[in-house]
């Protein structure tokens, strides 16, 4: 039987119908015997077989019409029980009508006796039909529970309809290895009450429940994870060694039912997520609605999210520009499916190619540009300065210059906190790009009046090549997790959060600003690794070790959001500030950048290129890099470029 059920076999519907008919036959017969005090001689001499046969025929037809036999017994629920009561009632009513119209007048039978038989039979038959299903369902779950072997002891967070549906889904699945022992909640009106046969416990009693029941997992419906109480509970779970799993909201369940494949480990992004950001959608809509919008780096982590969020504001046209063919193709398929009514153009091109970018602008005349194309990996750029310059500086210059030439109204550049007091090539190249973009505000070359805006923020959770996907891969392989330094910290923000702020900052700018974002508190990377190990249901240093490999070339222990001498001004959005940075005259900036690009074009030595970068960005002090030698040879007395405050 167990093997039969495990292969998802079901009893044929005709067998269920036969069982139901046997039950109602036995029930009516027994009810008749009870009412007639088991006087078998008189019963059998009377019209017992006519009464019984007629009732069974009527009841069988009613049950067949109502498809009482068609449901899978193992999944019977309250609705099925009500249908059985309904079928028993209708059968009794129809039989009573037939009896009073035919049986009583023709056979001269005792109507009172027949009424008693019907009353007793209604109670007995409906009870037995329900009992059959309850017994079959209980037997099924008993067999399944013992067939899976050792099960994980599970609590479900919440006590609403979704929580009950999760419990039912876990209990009804053959492949489930979860044993649900109860619910936890912080609603005082529900605590110590029962739902679906299980107790609702106080969330503050997690520690006691873990000791008493050896709780291994907590399942959370992935709604409102930003609530403070829930996040505190999740943190406590990690401290207690309870693995946290999530299921999507019920509107995302497959065909309205939870599939076990939808139960996932809690992501570190969920745990670090802050309160939802409130943005001014009206202002963003005014900037984007009905406009032609260009997004460079559209297939990257930030660029692809900018694409998705921009499309929600109904632009006239969105141009997706990237040099990565396959990711751009995947992006195209995704957005065309989700936004079929918005015009989308795919443009494969490299921002380093002026000719290719000129063709893009001359074909589409974008009105708004979000420039997210960049090289971002610190160690790789430290070994390839010329590539960083060509993409992050020359590529930005191409897009900015073409924006002015073709009358683009707004240019928004995505920068990084690594541009602040840079310690590496990547950060310095982005700082040079920032300086150039700022210098265009009041320059003579900006005859079209293009508004240039820079946004600056830290690491984004889950972006391509970031620390979180790397840690996840290392955990899946059994470790170890590699961290460069035990004290290293970083600011983190989710990709959607960052892009929301990029879009809103774009609406605030009048030109030349650098907008910085509230990144929250910095996160210690060692703590991040520890939490990720615990989220996977493992123990740090026991199941997965953390080893320290030393700082990589160009890497800082701590990131900053402001340069020395910079301060910020608030905006109407508490998450966005304007950095009052030092600006430089356009012509001086342009001359210095032309010199840098000429060195780069000549393929001169990396030393000469980096030395020129340090001349343009005097606060650029290399860390853990072969270029530190250049810092020892100079004494920084002040900015090389003349500032204009």
> The dihedral of CA 265, 271, 272, 277: what is its sign?
positive
- The number of angstroms, rounded, from the C-alpha of 224 to the middle of its chain's C-alpha atoms is 12
Q: How far, in Å, CA of 328 to CA of 347, rounded?
A: 9
Whether the Cβ atoms of residue 253 and residue 262 lie closer than 8 Å to each other: yes
Identify which of 143, 144, 169, 139 has the alpha carbon closest to the alpha carbon of residue 154. Answer: 169
Helix intervals (H) in 66-110: 78-98, 104-107
pLDDT at residue 237, as a whole number: 82
Query: Bridge-partner residues for 57, per DSSP?
Result: none
Whether the Cβ atoms of residue 43 and residue 36 lie closer than 8 Å to each other: yes
Phi, psi of 537 (to 5 degrees): 80, 20
Structural domains present in the chain? 2-146 (no CATH), 150-266 (3.40.50.720), 281-459+494-519+560-630 (3.40.50.720)
pLDDT at residue 533, as a whole number: 87
Length of the chain: 645
pLDDT at residue 638, as a whole number: 45
Find tokens 């343009």 and name the residue. 616
HEC string of 578-589 equals: EEECCECCHHHH
pLDDT at residue 70, as a whole number: 66
**Angle (deg, nearest 10), helices 228-240 and 206-213:** 40
> pLDDT means per 10 residues in the chain (645 residues)?
48 75 82 75 65 82 76 62 79 80 67 75 80 72 57 80 78 68 82 82 84 84 60 78 78 63 71 64 87 94 92 94 93 91 94 96 96 91 93 96 95 90 92 93 87 85 72 86 87 81 85 78 84 83 89 74 56 73 85 93 84 91 88 59 52
Residue 389 tokens, joined: 């310059």
Q: How far, in Å, CA of 271 to CA of 265, rounded?
A: 11
pLDDT at residue 5, as a whole number: 45
Residue 316 tokens, joined: 């006239």
- Active site (catalytic) residues: 418
Q: How far, in Å, CA of 383 to CA of 424, rounded?
A: 10
Q: Is the pTM of this model over 0.85?
A: no
Q: How far, in Å, CA of 367 to CA of 361, rounded?
A: 10
């Amino acid at each position: 039987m167990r093997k039969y059920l495990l292969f998802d076999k079901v009893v044929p519907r005709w067998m269920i119908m036969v069982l139901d008919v046997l039950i109602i036959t036995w029930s009516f017969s027994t009810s008749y015997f009870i009412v007639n005090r088991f006087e078998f001689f008189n019963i059998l001499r009377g019209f017992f077989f006519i009464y019984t046969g007629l009732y069974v025929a009527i009841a069988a037809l009613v049950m067949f019409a109502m498809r009482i036999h068609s449901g899978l017994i193992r999944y019977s629920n309250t609705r099925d029980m009500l249908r059985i009561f309904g079928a028993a009632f209708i059968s009794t009513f129809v039989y009573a009508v037939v009896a009073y119209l035919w049986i009583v007048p023709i056979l001269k039978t005792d109507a009172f006796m027949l009424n008693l038989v019907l009353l007793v039979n209604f109670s007995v038959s409906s009870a037995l039909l329900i009992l059959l299903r309850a017994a079959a369902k209980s037997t099924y779950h008993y067999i399944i529970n013992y067939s899976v072997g050792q099960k994980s002891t599970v609590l479900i967070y919440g006590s609403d309809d979704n929580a009950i549906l999760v419990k039912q889904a876990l209990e009804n699945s053959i492949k489930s290895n979860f044993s649900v022992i109860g619910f936890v909640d912080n609603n005082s009106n529900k605590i110590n009450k029962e739902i679906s046969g299980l107790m609702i416990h106080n969330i503050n009693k997690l520690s006691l429940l873990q000791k008493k029941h050896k709780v291994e997992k907590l399942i959370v419906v992935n709604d409102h994870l930003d609530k403070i109480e829930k996040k505190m509970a999740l943190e406590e779970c990690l401290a207690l060694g309870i693995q946290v799993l999530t299921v999507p909201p019920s509107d995302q369940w497959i065909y309205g039912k939870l599939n076990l494949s939808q139960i996932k480990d809690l992501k570190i992004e969920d745990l670090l997520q802050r309160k939802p950001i409130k943005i001014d959608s009206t202002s963003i809509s005014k900037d984007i609605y009905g406009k032609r919008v260009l997004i460079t780096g559209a297939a990257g982590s930030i660029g692809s999210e900018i694409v998705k969020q921009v499309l929600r504001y109904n632009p006239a046209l969105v141009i997706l520009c990237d040099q990565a063919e396959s990711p751009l193709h995947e992006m195209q398929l995704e957005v065309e499916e989700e936004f079929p009514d918005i015009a989308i153009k795919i443009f494969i091109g490299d921002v380093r190619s002026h000719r290719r970018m000129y063709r893009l602008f001359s074909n589409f005349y974008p009105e708004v540009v979000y420039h997210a194309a960049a090289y971002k990996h610190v160690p790789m750029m430290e070994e390839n300065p010329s590539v960083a310059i060509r993409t992050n500086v020359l590529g930005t210059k191409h897009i900015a210059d073409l924006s002015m030439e073709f009358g683009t109204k707004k240019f928004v550049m995505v920068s990084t906190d690594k541009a602040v007091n840079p310690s590496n090539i990547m950060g310095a190249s982005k700082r040079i790009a920032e300086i150039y973009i700022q210098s265009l505000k009041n320059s003579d070359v900006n005859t079209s009046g293009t508004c240039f805006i820079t946004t600056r923020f830290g690491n984004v959770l889950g972006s391509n090549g970031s620390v979180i996907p790397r840690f996840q891969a290392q955990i899946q392989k059994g470790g170890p997790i590699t961290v460069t330094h035990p004290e290293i910290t970083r600011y983190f923000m989710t990709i959607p959060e960052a892009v929301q702020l990029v879009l809103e900052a774009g609406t605030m700018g009048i030109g030349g600003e650098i907008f910085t974002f509230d990144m929250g508190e910095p996160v210690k990377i060692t703590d991040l690794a520890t939490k990720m190990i615990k989220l996977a249901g493992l123990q740090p240093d026991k199941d997965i070790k953390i080893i320290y490999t030393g700082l990589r070339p160009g890497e800082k222990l701590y990131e900053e959001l402001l340069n020395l001498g910079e301060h910020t001004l608030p905006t109407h959005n508490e998450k966005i500030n304007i950095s009052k940075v030092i600006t430089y005259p356009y012509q001086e900036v342009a001359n210095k950048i032309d010199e840098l690009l000429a060195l780069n074009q000549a393929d001169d030595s990396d030393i000469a290129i980096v030395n020129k970068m340090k001349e343009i960005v005097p606060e650029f002090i290399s860390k853990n890099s072969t270029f530190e030698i250049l810092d020892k040879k100079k004494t920084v007395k002040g900015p090389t470029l003349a500032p204009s405050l």
